[in-house]
Chain A
């Protein structure tokens, strides 16, 4: 099994890297979108492993997008630098907010993050002179002149980095810390784990990832608006993907994103105004009937088969 992985991983990565060489622009564009959601789903799961549930993906996604777009517009920052800055900005905001709101857990934290997208939207809409207000801001041109393969590789880089960070989280002491916080906070605390430090750290890192994906998205479409950049689907889709794939693993969100992302493309054509309905239904059904997701259920079956 382990040997198989050593062959499978480089093969999958090679397949992903050379993807633009054997596909057209439409598929490349779709793949870029799926990778963006995949990365968001993975980052969401990384925080979920601590037992904290965040509904604020769209908030940090939009915040990163705005930070990148505005540094590019106003300071003429290089697009790559501005994407990095978008992540850094999301990191800082999440860090400062985390210091406040991570004192409370579960319910309160979840609702506060649910409000974040709304709050960031209100702030961005009201800072007319800086952000362009309700109309948003338009960038002079898309990154790489809108060349699909290059944008694909940019997002793929972010995705691979996120997968690696997620694996590092799973293989180092962070894994034990987060898992024990999730299972029993009191025991974790009495074992000498500085819960608060880990929570703030993971919250800031995952928000930075969401901010960077938001930045690349803003550069890809060359505009940011309060309505589009903080849209609920940037929260909903990753959550649905992660739940479908299975929580608390790296594999889960990846599988969920590939499955649901593939279906989503058809749905958009089929139901242009209500395709998000399907994601809502996926969330409800998975929670009720397949709480462990695809990966969890399949690996359980395999274990039992042995």
Chain B
């Protein structure tokens, strides 16, 4: 109903909102996976995406291939980086206070940002591909179509993860570990291996996503920070660890941001929508607890 009204009143808001929602969802899904199964809040999430995008940029510049080719090396590289990060740091955070986890991943985020700052300077870089500005026309109204690739990515991630967690042996083990680590251990699941795998896969997904991000956005060392915050906002809206909820939450965020942006002179305010949403979620949550 609301969608129909929006489609006629402000069609741009609907289309761009859905496209941005795809971008947000595809980045937030791996975060929700880590939250739900490994139980770690990763404040370096967006910075891993930034790192992946820079690696993809490097690859593209050196090999002079199409940026999309970089999806394979970028996700592979981030899989390994995720593995190394888990082995060297995150591993020791199980059972540590939440506070320590937050500080550790905050430290990792800074290390990644400043590493990028050292290696590639803070000057924004971007790649240009012709197909990124592809457009379609319906009646008198023209819109960009390439960004629907984000929606496709989000849907592929979601369906893939769903089948992985429900359909495969190791996915089921991961789900069990997320629900009850001690129980999972008792029935013979190597939970440390599961944590390592899930963390690395999530970071690899972020790496794949970073290449799509690179094709449409310019990147700089601090580009990831806001995606960490927005991903967390979505995870909080969905309920920590809930994958399906991420899709709905990202639609709400994407549409409302573009709704605000569509008013001339107020575009700059779109960036605080996610914060307002977090506050609303918190208030609703605390109200619910009090009622109960």
Contacts and interface: CB of A to CB of B under 8 A. Distances in A.
A287 to B, nearest CB: 5
A282 to B, nearest CB: 8
A114, A236, A279, A287: residue with the most chain B Cβ atoms closer than 10 Å: A287
Interface stretch (A24-32, A87-95, A101-109): A101-109
B285 A104 contact: yes
A288 B85 CA distance: 13
B122 interface: yes
A243 B225 CA distance: 22
20 contacts: A53-B99, A100-B282, A101-B282, A107-B98, A110-B102, A112-B275, A112-B278, A115-B274, A126-B268, A126-B269, A232-B110, A273-B121, A274-B118, A276-B114, A277-B111, A277-B117, A279-B110, A283-B103, A287-B100, A288-B92
A118 B286 CA distance: 24
A305 B257 CA distance: 60
Interface of B: 41, 43, 89, 92, 98-100, 102-104, 106-111, 113-115, 117-118, 121-122, 222, 225-226, 229, 232, 236, 268-269, 271-272, 274-275, 278-279, 282-283, 285-286
A101 B281 CA distance: 10
A232 B225 CA distance: 11
A55 B106 contact: yes
Contact of A100 (B89, B103, B226, B279): B279
A245 interface: no
A216 B283 CA distance: 35
Contact of A287 (B41, B104, B286): B104
Contacts, number: 114
Interface residues of A, number: 40
B233 to A, nearest CB: 8
A108 B282 contact: yes
Instruction: Please classify the interface of chain B as helix (H, G, I), strand (E, B), loop, or mixed, using the class held by over half of its residues.
Output: helix
Given A114-B43, A122-B271, A274 B114 contact: yes
B33 to A, nearest CB: 17
Contacts of A20: none
B255 to A, nearest CB: 19
B272 A271 contact: no
Contacts of B113: 276, 280
A115 B278 contact: yes
Contact of B268 (A103, A108, A122): A122
A108 B106 contact: no
A107 B41 contact: yes
A28 to B, nearest CB: 28
A291 B104 CA distance: 11
A239 B265 CA distance: 37
Contacts of A115: 229, 274-275, 278
Interface in A28-43: none
A146 B260 CA distance: 43
B84 to A, nearest CB: 13
Nearest to B290: A103
B24 to A, nearest CB: 15
Given A112-B278, A114-B43, A288 B89 contact: yes
Contacts of A17: none
A5 B113 CA distance: 42
Nearest to B228: A114
A239 B103 contact: yes
B104 A104 contact: no
A281 interface: yes
Contacts of A101: 279, 282
Contact of B104 (A51, A103, A288): A288
Contacts of B272: 119, 122-123
**Closest A-B pairs by Cβ, 6 of them:** A283-B107, A280-B110, A274-B118, A277-B114, A280-B111, A103-B286
Nearest to B267: A126
Residue from B102, B229, B286 having most chain A Cβ neighbours under 10 A: B102
Interface string A287-301: 110010000000000
Contacts of A16: none
Nearest to A243: B103
Contacts of B121: 273
Nearest to B232: A111
